[in-house]
C-alpha cells in the first residue's frame, strides 16, 4: 500500500500556484494500486458502467448515476465490473479546504462523513450540468487555474451538501412529510434560487400555511429560511474560493449585486467585499 499526496494530482503549472486546492480527471478503467490519501479527499461520479470500490477490506458497488467518495481514513483501489468499460469522473480536494467548507456544521456530521458508508444518487440533469462544467474547464487556458479551482470547488461543495443532507436524513426522527420533501429539495442546486412561491408549489401549501409551519419548526418564515440558506452558501464560497462577489451573487440567485450586498450586510454586518478582507 502506498500513500498519495494531493500535490501528485497537479501538473507543473498548477504546482507553482499555491491557490490550487482541487483537481479533476476522467477515467475509464481500473485503478488497482492499493493506496491511501494523506491530505486530500476524492469524490467520484460514475457516468457509465459499474464501479467497484475495494475500500477498507470491503467491496462496494456503484452503478451509473451515483456519487461516492474516499477520505484520508480510507485505504482502497478501484475496478470495473463486467465486460463493458466504465467511466467515472474523479474530483480531488485538499482536506484542509474541505474542512473549511464544513466549519459551520457540527462535529457529528464530520464524524459521519469520515465513516463513509453509503453512496448518493445524482439526477441526470445534475450529471449533465457537471459534464458541461468540465467541458468549459477544458477550454480554459492554463493561466486560468484559479478560475478552474473555483469552479471545481463549487461542485465539490455541492457533493458535500448532498452527503451531509443525506446523513442528517438518516437520523431517526419522525419528520412530517413536508419536512422530508424540503430536505430532498435542498439536495438540488436549484434550491439556492427558490422563492416562497416555489416552496408553496413544491410542498403544496398556501403562503399562510407555510408561514405557520416554518415558524413552528424553524423559528423563521419561509422567506427568512431561504435567505439564510443562500447567504450561508455565499459565505462558504467567500471563504473557500476566489470567485468575485458578482459571480457568487449569481450563484445564489441575485442578478443585482447591490441587492446582494445589502442582504449580506444585514445578516453578517459587513458587505461581501469587506467580509473577505
Query: Which pLDDT value is given to residue 173?
Result: 55
Query: Which pLDDT value is given to residue 171?
Result: 55
Cell digits of residue 221:
418564515
Q: Which residue has the higher pLDDT, 8 or 36?
A: 36
- Identify the CA nearest to 264 among candidates 243, 223, 234: 234
pLDDT band of residue 195 (cuts 50, 70, 90) is: very high
Tell me the average pLDDT across 35-41. Answer: 93
Cell digits of residue 239:
471563504
Cell digits of residue 144:
486560468
Domain ranges of the chain: 2-169, 174-276
Residue range 70-92, pLDDT digits in tens: 999 999 999 887 767 789 999 99
pLDDT of residue 266 exceeding 90: no
Query: Which pLDDT value is given to residue 169?
Result: 66
CA 254 to the chain's CA centroid: 20
3-state secondary structure of 86: coil
Q: Does domain 174-276 have CATH number 3.40.50.150?
A: no
pLDDT of residue 139 exceeding 80: yes
Q: Which of 87-96, 163-172, 217-226 has the highest mean pLDDT?
A: 87-96
The total of other beta-carbon atoms located within 10 Å of residue 56's CB is 14
CA–CA dist 89, 47 (Å, integer): 8
Q: Which fold has domain 2-169?
A: Jelly Rolls (2.60.120)
Query: Which pLDDT value is given to residue 170?
Result: 60
Tell me the whole-structure pTM to 2 decimals. 0.65
- Domain 2-169 and domain 174-276, same fold? Reply is no
State residue 61 phi and psi, 5-degree precision: -110, 135
Residue range 164-179, pLDDT digits in tens: 888 776 654 567 889 8
Amino acid at each position: 500500500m502506498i500513500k498519495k499526496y494531493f500535490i501528485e494530482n497537479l501538473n507543473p503549472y498548477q504546482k507553482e500556484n499555491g491557490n490550487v486546492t482541487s483537481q479533476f480527471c476522467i477515467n475509464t478503467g481500473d485503478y488497482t494500486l492499493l493506496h491511501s490519501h494523506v491530505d486530500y479527499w476524492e469524490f467520484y461520479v460514475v457516468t457509465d458502467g459499474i464501479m467497484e470500490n475495494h475500500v477498507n477490506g470491503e467491496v462496494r458497488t456503484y452503478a451509473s448515476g451515483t456519487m461516492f467518495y474516499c477520505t484520508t481514513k480510507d485505504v482502497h483501489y478501484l475496478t470495473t465490473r463486467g465486460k463493458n468499460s466504465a467511466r467515472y469522473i474523479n474530483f480531488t480536494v485538499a482536506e484542509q479546504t474541505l474542512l473549511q467548507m464544513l466549519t459551520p456544521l457540527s462535529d457529528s456530521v464530520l464524524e459521519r462523513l469520515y465513516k463513509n458508508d453509503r453512496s448518493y444518487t445524482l439526477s441526470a440533469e445534475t450529471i449533465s450540468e457537471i459534464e458541461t462544467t468540465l467541458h468549459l474547464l477544458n477550454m480554459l487556458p492554463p493561466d486560468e487555474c484559479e478560475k478552474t479551482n473555483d469552479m471545481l470547488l463549487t461542485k465539490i461543495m455541492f457533493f458535500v451538501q448532498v452527503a451531509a443532507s443525506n446523513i442528517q436524513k438518516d437520523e431517526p426522527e419522525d419528520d412530517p412529510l413536508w419536512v422530508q420533501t424540503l430536505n430532498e429539495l435542498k439536495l438540488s442546486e436549484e434550491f439556492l434560487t427558490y422563492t416562497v412561491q416555489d416552496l408553496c408549489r413544491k410542498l403544496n401549501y398556501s403562503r399562510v400555511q407555510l408561514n405557520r409551519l416554518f415558524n413552528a419548526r424553524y423559528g423563521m418564515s419561509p422567506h427568512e429560511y431561504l435567505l439564510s440558506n443562500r447567504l450561508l452558501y455565499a459565505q462558504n464560497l467567500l471563504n473557500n474560493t476566489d470567485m468575485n462577489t458578482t459571480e457568487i451573487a449569481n450563484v445564489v440567485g441575485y442578478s443585482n449585486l447591490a441587492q446582494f450586498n445589502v442582504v449580506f450586510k444585514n445578516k453578517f454586518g459587513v458587505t461581501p467585499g469587506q467580509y473577505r478582507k
